[in-house]
């Protein structure tokens, strides 16, 4: 049964608690330099527009995501299995993971500079971004567990978890 379509900003799509999983029958991550460069250029263009006119809401279509809502045994009771759009979704998650890593590096630099106020503020941003876009909490057997919002196919999982 098709539920219909929903248009969401990327941040809202990813930050929902419901996890995405790439099924084993999907091909591995395959974007090459050209596709990643186009993606980065789209982000850069949107950033430049936002810098010039901060109050203007700019929309950009990055492409669709098709998923199947599966019943699951996790506490959310569902998982979205990605049928189409995994390259874009994975690229967004990889980009966010790199941003989170950069934020963590800023916290370390502030610590080295003995700037504790900045370190504390940056760590708060690090934790909020990581929890909003990369991980979610789930209770399993009475224990709080962190889970990835996107579980890639086995081949790609090793790369993302680095």
Tell me whether residue 2 is in a domain: no
pTM of the complete model: 0.83
Q: How many domains does the chain have?
A: 1
Gap between the Cα atoms of 35 and 91, Å rounded: 10
Domain that holds residue 27: 10-160
Q: Rounded to the nearest 5°, which phi and psi values hold at 129? A: -65, -45
Tell me whether residue 140 is in a domain: yes
- Cα distances (angstroms) measured from residue 37 to each of 7, 31, 102, 124, 133: 25, 10, 20, 30, 22
Tell me whether residue 14 is in a domain: yes
Tell me whether residue 99 is in a domain: yes
Residues 48-90 have pLDDT tens digits of: 999 999 888 888 888 888 888 887 665 556 788 999 999 999 9
Gap between the Cα atoms of 2 and 103, Å rounded: 40
């Amino acid at each position: 049964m098709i539920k219909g379509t929903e248009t969401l900003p990327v941040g809202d799509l990813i930050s929902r608690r419901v996890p995405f999983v790439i099924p084993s029958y999907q091909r591995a991550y395959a974007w090459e330099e050209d596709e990643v460069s186009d993606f980065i250029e789209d982000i850069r263009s949107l950033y430049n527009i936002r810098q010039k006119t901060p109050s203007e809401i700019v929309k950009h279509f990055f492409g669709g995501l098709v998923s199947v809502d599966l019943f699951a045994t996790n506490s959310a009771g569902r998982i979205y299995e990605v049928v189409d759009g995994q390259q874009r979704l994975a690229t967004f998650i990889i980009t966010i993971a790199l941003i989170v890593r950069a934020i963590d590096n800023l916290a370390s630099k502030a610590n080295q500079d003995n700037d504790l106020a900045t370190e504390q503020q940056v760590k708060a941003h690090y934790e909020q971004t990581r929890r909003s876009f990369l991980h979610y909490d789930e209770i399993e057997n009475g224990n709080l567990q962190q889970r990835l919002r996107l579980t890639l196919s086995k081949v790609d999982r090793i790369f993302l978890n680095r």
